[in-house]
Amino acid sequence: MLNMDGVSVGYGDAPAVLTDISVTVRPGRVLALTGSSGAGKTTLLNAMAGLLRPRDGSVTVDGRPLRDRDHAVEHRIVLIPQDNGLAPILTAAENLQVALVAGGVTPPEALRQTAAMLDLLGLAGQADQLVEELSGGQQQRTAVARGLALRGGVLLADEVTS
Amino acid sequence: MLTVIWGALAARRAQALAVLLLAVLASAAAAAAPSYVAAAGQALARYEVSRATPNELRLRLADPVEYPGVPGDPARTPFADMVKKLTPAGFEVVLGAQSGGVAAGRDGTVTSSLVFRAGVCERVTVAGACPRATSRGQLPEVMVGTHTAARLGVAVGDQFTFGAVPVRVAGIYQPLDATDPFWLGAEYIRPAAAGPTGTSAVGSAEDAIFTAEAAPLTDDQAILYRSTADLYVTERLFDTRSVADLRAAVTVVTRDGSREGLGGGTSLSSLLDRVALQRGQLADGVTLGAGLLVLLCWLVLFVAVGSAADQRRPEQGLLLLRGVQRRRLWALAIGEHAIPALFAIPLGCLGGLTAATLLAAHTLPARADVTVDATVIGFAAIGALGALAAVLLTQARMLSAPVVDLLRRVPARVRGWRATIGDVVAVSVAVAAVVQLRSGGSPSGLALVAPVAGALAAGLLLARVTMIAGGAVGGALLARGRTAGGLALVQVARQPRFRPLIALLTVVVAMLAFTVATSEVASAAYRDRAIVEVGAPRVVEVGATSRSHLLAAVRAADPEGRFAMATVVTGSSSAAGTPLLAVDSDRLATVARPHSSYGMSLADVERKIRPTAPGAPVHLRGRLLTIVISASFDAEVFGGNRVRLAVTVSSANGTRVATSRQDIEPGRKGYVLQVPECAQDCRLVKIDIVAPVVSRNLEVRFEEMRTGDEDGEHETMVLTGAQFADITRWRLTDPDDTFLDATSGTDVALILTVPENRRATPAGIAVADAPFPLPVYLTRSTGTPLGGTHPYDGVDGTPTTALVGGVADRLPRLGGSGLVVDLEYADRLAVASQSGKEEVWLTGTAPVDVLDRLRAQGLVVQSERTITGVRQDFDRQAPALALRFNLFAALAGVLIGAAGLIAMAAAEQRARVAMLVALRRQGLPPRAVRGGYGLPAAVAAVSGGLVTVVIWLLTRSGQRLFSDGRSPVPLPDWPDVGRLLMFTMPTIALFALTAVVLGRVVAASVRRRSGR
Amino acid sequence: MTAEPHDEPLTLARPAEGVAVTCHRLIHIYSTGTGDVVALSGVDLRISPGEMLALVGPSGSGKSTLVAILGGLMQPSAGRVYVGDHELSRLSSKGLAALRGATIGTVLQGAERNLLPYVSLSRNIWLAQRPAARLAGRRLDPPEAILDLVGLAGAGSRRVGDLTPGQRQRAALAQGLAAGPGLLLVDEPTSQLDASGRDEVLAALTAVNAERGTTVVVVTHDGEVGAQLGRAVTIRDGRVGAEGRNGRDFAVVAGDGTIQLPPETVATFPAGTLFEVDHTDQSITLRAVATPSSLGGDDGVARVGGEPRPSGS
């Protein structure tokens, strides 16, 4: 369970993008975050994912404060960034494989899960193509496949349908 | 348009700066070569001038007309005017006049020459004064040499006559430096003759007698002189004018001179040819290093700018989208890059000159200046323009791509033939170059850069293999969960721009190893050749009166045989003959330097060529020699055909044949022969019966031999009948056609029977004091096997045969073809005097005064060579200088390679860090963050090693090590691996270190951006 | 395309109004590393001069390819496309470049991609005008006038990096308009903007269309934009599937007589479904008769007239 309590967050020395935000993410629920561009949606997701340290307030996971992204990864908080966050020089399958293995899945099992997830998203034919050679839509689906394959406790998806 | 270009330059400052720096590098590399070649060319000219014989340094013009009087200064004569007209700029002129004649003094006469030579007084020390001009009524003044004064018996102030003209001795001179070209070698200062006692004063009695201006003589015909002019080249001349220029000037002078009737001669052309040859070889050799440097610079530029070129893609696409013509796009691209390239030319000139100056100061034997000239600027321009071309090449693909491709956010990968065209071109060039090199002859053009071309082609191919293999292995590692290794490999293998970088690093390592290996082999080859060609640590060329004089003198100077050995070396008169080395063999192993290429041990040679003598020599002492002979032959039948007695004796002054005045007549008689040289001591060589036509059998009995003096005093019995009759003492000179017998009893005698025949050679008996045929050590190249007989020209030049006692691959001093005999035995067998060069071989441990000791024994020291000196000479020749430049170029290449690696990393930094940060955010552990630059460094090491071996095997035979291209010793096949590693290990370590540092930089950047 | 490509003579007078665009059975196939992709499988489209049109469709539908062809960036594999009086498939690359310089203006997705960042806006517009400036009889507006047209009056000396997102998008528009083209193609101008920014851009586009009569085609996935522009054409699977005009949605008959089923019905009636067809003068009724157990294609194309297709072909 992910909790944000009176969090203010900003980039560098710039003024805070979000002020005094409190959010509770309950298990098994889908939370949609909408707002106009520049409102701070991505900032909020980044703070939840552990990429941004809050200036005020705290972000807690299962009761414990969130330290950084690696801590968030340990707590299985999966992030699908707005720009997809894929490695262009790896194939679609390798992007998933690397993330799965880093998450502790055994390599043969990771291969199986990768193939299954890519198939699910209609990317079976693109699995061995370098990401940089895929179309924008295919890249987006690859990022989503990775996010889903990681089977995190919390999945944060930033503008995945645009 | 300019605003746009300026804006682009300002926006892409970093890239413009990178292009500028790398173009400067390319330009400097291109400019360094011609600067070095020019400077080294000067040094080579100076070196050749210092080694040239005097005749090669000057051109002589002589007046055809003879004038009466004492030779004087021709400066104001028409001859001098003509010479001044003909002399090319820069030549130094020494005017003179000379006249030959006989000088007669109180104690003796000498045939000499009376010479006026401008500038002689500055080059001598004079006891007395230099001759001054005299006027009518005064005696002409002259100065004579020390030996001349002694021979004539005059001192300062005395008179003597020259050609019946009385002259006064104003001074006795000694030349300050007899080796100064002013003295023209032996023309004015004659070399001293060897004699029983030596002297250290230079010159001989025949030295020139120098005069000053004198008034006309009363007798016009007493002395006639001829004016001469010597036109000297100087070092400065070689600095300022090209060899072709000088050759043309010499041709013009010779032609015009002979048209005016001026005689003369010169060997100047051989000096000019040598200098031109050396300079040509230097330029050829340096082409390799220069080509390597320029290629590396262009490659680095291609690699460094390639990544940044992608920044221009969107702009290009945009402009094409708007319909801007491709012509204008090219103009914009060229404009943006040409500006740094143009600035690079002058900066490159400066850089190249600096580098060449530093290198010249360190490597050239003589001082040389490095200056700017048109060639240097031209090459710098080529370097910079090539750099510009390399940059434009990276853009070329982009500038001709379809609009759609350019507008894609990620560039499409190059597929199909375009990706391999570079490889195809490189391989074709390499194959052409290697084929040209191996087809023999002097390498030129493409063949000179064959190693570089081969390394580049092999490097590109191996890089391609690396990319494919790296991609496959990386993918497999990633599938297996080894993320760190897989990522590191894949980051490089799937980025096509790394391929030229890997090729670049491979070329750097391979060419470094190649040049080091070539230098190593050259060093070894110089050492080997010096040892074999010289023979012993010090070899002194001497003059002696005879072989026995030489032997005796050296033995007296070094009785224990610890440091000196007498040697005679002869060439061969016929082309097919075998050169000869005659040595005092019990010192051979001590003095001569052993070498593995000889294929034998010197101790073995010693033993084999000096077995025990079959008999003792026969010594004579006395001015008259009497031989008692009983001859029986039919004088009537012989008719007018004479039978004569000849005796060959060998003394300190040489070997001579003495003939008795009386012909041999039937009956018993004592025949007298004049042998004045045997007054001290001499040795009997042989006794000949000279009868060209033997009408009927001729029998000669030798019954007695006596020596004595002119006045019949000191009669000594040399050989009694019984001693004569000892057949073992004698050897027939013609064993096939003459017969030897001995009688015993009261008329004990030696009987020589000569059957009837026409005889071309005399019949006779030789003293058997040396083994015949003489055992020799022979080189394998002559083809005669061990135990066979081999015909050769003896140490006196007469043909004889030898018994092959041993076979060697090579011999000291003679190299691959020749034979070595014992000097003493060879001298005993010799029937004629001097032939060949007399030398004294010394070890490095010879005492300091050894030359004085030799002189004290009456030897004349002429010149000296050392193994070290000859080896240093090889190091000063053009091929060695070129090798040094190439080594410097290869070392500079290492820095260029490292710069390329850094430039690539800088260009890739942003994309790489972004990717790693994105992966980190998906859970990639920090320890899996690698720079991946270790792969290029590792591949460079391995590929570099492989490629070195390949190009070594293919091209090393085409690398010139010696100026004359030959060595009697085979060149080593492989260099010393230790030295090779000493250079290549630090290079690879440098690349590895760079890779590690770059990886750390990436990791740090990722850490910073990931917050941990 | 049977004729050889050639250069169109450049006697392009300044169009007083926008140009018409017609696509007839446009097909485009391109190869990737792993095979060929059919991007457009027969597009028929008519745009009147001065019309404003939204082009919508999911990613991978082929709309980027269509825009690239309409923009004169590449030749289609088959079919014909007319922009004004020029048939694009008969032009050489030089001819296409000339057309791009004078008649067609494209605004790429992502405002910054349309401008050189290191020179001013006026200089950018000047550079874009160079090709058209060489044409005889062509009158070009000064850069300030064009900036004024899009609502950026006085910003000529500034650089793109100094502008707000909405201003940047309008500056990109100005680039597309630099040479006074008859056809303006704009790719996703509002995706990165908030509501006010979007309104600015739409106002500018409308102004351009009103004042110059330029034909405007806007690629977008924003339904609001489609509604504001009046006509929206949907591209699906490489062909025109549907159109919306003034809020009403229509299916469109393609040149070969095919119609695409509305997307929401494709799942209900998969490929291979057999319909009985009844038609009158005003309508056609399709009654599903048999639904196959295995799927063939998934484009849900139904034949209007002619035999039902056997399944699996």
For chain B positions 316-345, those within 8 Å of chain C (CB to CB) are 318-326, 328
The residues, any chain, with a CB within 8 Å of residue A64's CB and separated by 6 or more, are: none
Q: Is B311 on the interface with C (CB under 8 A)?
A: no
pLDDT digits (tens, 9 = 90+) for B338-389: 888 888 888 988 888 888 888 888 888 766 777 778 888 888 888 888 888 8
B588/B25: higher pLDDT: B588
Chain C contact residues (CB < 8 Å to B): 33, 68, 71, 73-74, 93, 97-102, 106, 108, 113-119, 123, 127-128, 130-132, 175, 178-179
> Would you call C32 and A138 a contact, using CB atoms and an 8 Å cutoff?
no
Q: What is the pLDDT of residue C298?
A: 43
Measured in whole angstroms, the distance separating CA B769 from the mean position of its chain's CA atoms is: 42
- Looking at the predicted structure, is the pLDDT value of residue C12 above 80? no
Peptide bond into B879 cis (omega under 30): no
Nearest residue of chain B to residue C114 (CA atoms): B318
Distance (Å, whole) CA C72 – CA C104: 8
Q: Is A132 on the interface with C (CB under 8 A)?
A: no
> Would you call B413 and A133 a contact, using CB atoms and an 8 Å cutoff?
yes
- What count of other Cβ atoms lies within 10 Å of the Cβ of residue B421? 11
Q: How far is CA B808 from CA B525, B578, C124, in A?
A: 20, 14, 86
Percentage of chain B exceeding pLDDT 70:
97
B318 vs C68, C74, C114: nearest CB: C114
A89 vs B483, B490, B925: nearest CB: B490
Q: What is the pLDDT of residue C268?
A: 82
pLDDT digits (tens, 9 = 90+) for B243-298: 898 999 899 888 888 888 887 778 888 999 999 999 999 999 999 999 999 899 88
Q: How far is CA C257 from CA A22, C254, C301, in A?
A: 57, 5, 11
Place C1 in a pLDDT band, splitting at 50, 70 and 90: very low
What are the chain B neighbours of C76 within 8 Å (beta carbons)? Answer: none
Distance (Å, whole) CA C42 – CA C76: 11
Place C4 in a pLDDT band, splitting at 50, 70 and 90: very low
> Would you call A111 and B479 a contact, using CB atoms and an 8 Å cutoff?
yes
Classify residue B654 as left (phi > 0), alpha (psi -120 to 50) or beta.
left
* H or E element at residue B226: strand B224-232
A87 vs B413, B495, B915: nearest CB: B915
Domain boundaries, chain C: 21-239, 261-313
What is the arithmetic mean of pLDDT over B732-761? Answer: 84
> Would you call A87 and B480 a contact, using CB atoms and an 8 Å cutoff?
no
**For chain B, which chains pass the contact test of at least 3 CB pairs under 8 Å?**
A, C
The residue length of chain A stands at 162
> Which CB contacts under 8 angstroms, 24+ apart, belong to B427-434?
B427/B457, B427/B460, B427/B461, B429/B453, B429/B457, B430/B454, B430/B456, B430/B457, B430/B458, B431/B457, B434/B954, B434/B955
C100 vs B7, B322, B404: nearest CB: B322
Yes or no: say if C149 and C174 are a contact pair by the CB < 8 Å rule.
yes
Q: What is the pLDDT of residue A27?
A: 82
B322 vs C68, C117, C131: nearest CB: C131
Yes or no: say if C25 and C42 are a contact pair by the CB < 8 Å rule.
yes
Which of B337-351, B477-491, C6-20 has the highest mean predicted lDDT (pLDDT)?
A: B477-491
Q: Kindly give the interhelix angle for B268-309 and B374-399, rounded to the nearest 10 degrees.
A: 30
Alpha helices, H only, B494-558: 498-534, 547-557
Place B881 in a pLDDT band, splitting at 50, 70 and 90: very high
Prediction pTM value: 0.84
- Looking at the predicted structure, is the pLDDT value of residue C303 above 60? no
A37 vs C34, C60, C192: nearest CB: C192
C-alpha dihedral sign at A57, A59, A60, A64:
negative
Q: Is C194 on the interface with A (CB under 8 A)?
A: yes
Q: Is B921 on the interface with A (CB under 8 A)?
A: yes
- Looking at the predicted structure, is the pLDDT value of residue B1012 above 60? no
What is the arithmetic mean of pLDDT over B645-649? Answer: 92
Distance (Å, whole) CA C33 – CA B926: 34
Q: What is the pLDDT of residue B197?
A: 56
B402 vs C74, C98, C128: nearest CB: C74
pLDDT digits (tens, 9 = 90+) for A26-72: 888 888 888 776 778 888 988 899 888 888 888 998 888 888 888 89
Report the DSSP beta bridge partners of residue B113: B100
Alpha helices, H only, B400-497: 403-407, 417-438, 450-479, 483-493
Which of B9-18, B309-318, C128-137, C212-221 has the highest mean predicted lDDT (pLDDT)?
A: C212-221
B311/C24: higher pLDDT: C24
The residues, any chain, with a CB within 8 Å of residue B899's CB and separated by 6 or more, are: B22, B25, B300
Yes or no: say if B159 and B166 are a contact pair by the CB < 8 Å rule.
yes
> Would you call C32 and A133 a contact, using CB atoms and an 8 Å cutoff?
yes
Determine whether domain B618-767 maps to CATH 2.60.40. Answer: no
- Looking at the predicted structure, is the pLDDT value of residue B826 above 90? yes
For chain B positions 198-237, those within 8 Å of chain C (CB to CB) are none
What are the chain C neighbours of A162 within 8 Å (beta carbons)? Answer: 191, 221
Q: What is the pLDDT of residue B562?
A: 93
What are the chain C neighbours of B323 within 8 Å (beta carbons)? Answer: 97-102, 131-132, 179
Q: What is the pLDDT of residue B937?
A: 92
What are the chain C neighbours of A133 within 8 Å (beta carbons)? Answer: 32-33
Average pLDDT, chain B: 87
3-state DSSP assignment of residue C245: strand
Q: How far is CA C216 from CA B841, C52, C225, C289, in A?
A: 103, 5, 13, 44
Q: Is B471 on the interface with A (CB under 8 A)?
A: no
B920-950 core/surface letters (b: 16 or more CB in 10 A; e: else): bbbbbeeebbbbbbbbbbbbbbebbbebbeb
Place B930 in a pLDDT band, splitting at 50, 70 and 90: confident
What is the arithmetic mean of pLDDT over C287-303? Answer: 56
- Looking at the predicted structure, is the pLDDT value of residue C302 above 80? no
Q: Is A104 on the interface with C (CB under 8 A)?
A: no
What is the arithmetic mean of pLDDT over B32-50? Answer: 88
**For chain C, which chains pass the contact test of at least 3 CB pairs under 8 Å?**
A, B
> Would you call B922 and A146 a contact, using CB atoms and an 8 Å cutoff?
yes
Per-residue 3-state assignment (H helix, E strand, C coil) for B916-939: HHHHHHCCCCHHHCCCCCHHHHHH
B401/B872: higher pLDDT: B872
What are the chain B neighbours of C74 within 8 Å (beta carbons)? Answer: 402-404
Q: What is the ipTM of this complex?
A: 0.95
Angstroms from C190 CA to nearest CA on chain A: 11
For chain B positions 404-433, those within 8 Å of chain A (CB to CB) are 410, 412-413
Q: What is the pLDDT of residue B477?
A: 94
What is the arithmetic mean of pLDDT over B1000-1005? Answer: 92
Place B414 in a pLDDT band, splitting at 50, 70 and 90: low
Place B410 in a pLDDT band, splitting at 50, 70 and 90: low
Place C306 in a pLDDT band, splitting at 50, 70 and 90: very low
How many residue pairs bridge chain A and chain C with CB atoms within 8 Å of each other?
Answer: 24
Residue at B484: amino acid letter? A
Place B470 in a pLDDT band, splitting at 50, 70 and 90: very high
- Looking at the predicted structure, is the pLDDT value of residue B444 above 70? yes
- Closest by CA to C168, choosing from C124, C206, C127, C129, is C124
- Looking at the predicted structure, is the pLDDT value of residue B894 above 90? yes
pLDDT digits (tens, 9 = 90+) for B785-825: 998 999 988 888 888 899 999 999 999 999 889 999 999 99
Domain boundaries, chain B: 1-53+267-412, 59-79+89-237, 417-531+868-1012, 545-613+771-858, 618-767
What is the arithmetic mean of pLDDT over B645-660? Answer: 90
What is the arithmetic mean of pLDDT over C57-77? Answer: 85
* H or E element at residue C303: strand C301-303
> Would you call A137 and C58 a contact, using CB atoms and an 8 Å cutoff?
yes
Q: Is B915 on the interface with A (CB under 8 A)?
A: yes
Angstroms from B445 CA to nearest CA on chain A: 43
- Looking at the predicted structure, is the pLDDT value of residue B768 above 50? yes
> Would you call A125 and C34 a contact, using CB atoms and an 8 Å cutoff?
yes
Classify residue C251 as left (phi > 0), alpha (psi -120 to 50) or beta.
beta
**For chain A, which chains pass the contact test of at least 3 CB pairs under 8 Å?**
B, C
- The residue behind tokens 């001098």 is B80
> Would you call C101 and B324 a contact, using CB atoms and an 8 Å cutoff?
yes
Q: Is A161 on the interface with C (CB under 8 A)?
A: no
Angstroms from C262 CA to nearest CA on chain B: 32
> Would you call B323 and C97 a contact, using CB atoms and an 8 Å cutoff?
yes
Q: How far is CA B693 from CA B644, B663, B696, B758, B766, in A?
A: 11, 14, 9, 5, 21
DSSP annotation string for chain A = -EEEEEEEE-STTSPPSEEEEEEEE-TT--------TTSSHHHHHHHHHTSS--SEEEEEETTEEP-SHHHHHHTTEEEE-TT----TTSBHHHHHHHHHHHTT--HHHHHHHHHHHHHHTT-GGGTTSBGGGS-HHHHHHHHHHHHHHTT-SEEEE-STT-
What is the arithmetic mean of pLDDT over B161-170? Answer: 86
For chain C positions 115-174, those within 8 Å of chain A (CB to CB) are 165
Distance (Å, whole) CA C60 – CA B453: 48
User: How far is it between the farthest Cα atoms of chain C?
Assistant: 68
Angstroms from B978 CA to nearest CA on chain C: 49
- Looking at the predicted structure, is the pLDDT value of residue C312 above 60? no
Place B200 in a pLDDT band, splitting at 50, 70 and 90: low
CATH number, span C21-239: 3.40.50.300
- Looking at the predicted structure, is the pLDDT value of residue C205 above 80? yes
The residues, any chain, with a CB within 8 Å of residue B140's CB and separated by 6 or more, are: B70, B131, B134, B165, B167, B168, B211, B212, B214, B215
Place B686 in a pLDDT band, splitting at 50, 70 and 90: very high
- Looking at the predicted structure, is the pLDDT value of residue B466 above 90? yes
What is the arithmetic mean of pLDDT over B733-740? Answer: 86
DSSP state, residue B193: P
Q: How far is CA C43 from CA B600, C38, C88, C239, C297, in A?
A: 94, 12, 15, 5, 19
What is the arithmetic mean of pLDDT over B620-642? Answer: 87
The least confident of B177-191, B619-633, B934-948, C164-178 is B177-191
What is the arithmetic mean of pLDDT over B946-962? Answer: 91
The least confident of A54-63, B895-904, C265-274 is C265-274
Strands B819-822 and B580-583: parallel
For chain A positions 11-50, those within 8 Å of chain C (CB to CB) are 36-39
A136 vs C59, C193, C195: nearest CB: C59
Average pLDDT, chain A: 88
Angstroms from A117 CA to nearest CA on chain C: 20
> Would you call C97 and B325 a contact, using CB atoms and an 8 Å cutoff?
yes
- Looking at the predicted structure, is the pLDDT value of residue B953 above 90? yes
What are the chain B neighbours of A146 within 8 Å (beta carbons)? Answer: 922
- Looking at the predicted structure, is the pLDDT value of residue B412 above 50? yes
- What count of other Cβ atoms lies within 10 Å of the Cβ of residue B909? 16
B7 vs C74, C102, C119: nearest CB: C119
Angstroms from A74 CA to nearest CA on chain B: 8
Q: What is the pLDDT of residue A134?
A: 84
What are the chain A neighbours of B495 within 8 Å (beta carbons)? Answer: 89
DSSP state, residue B412: P
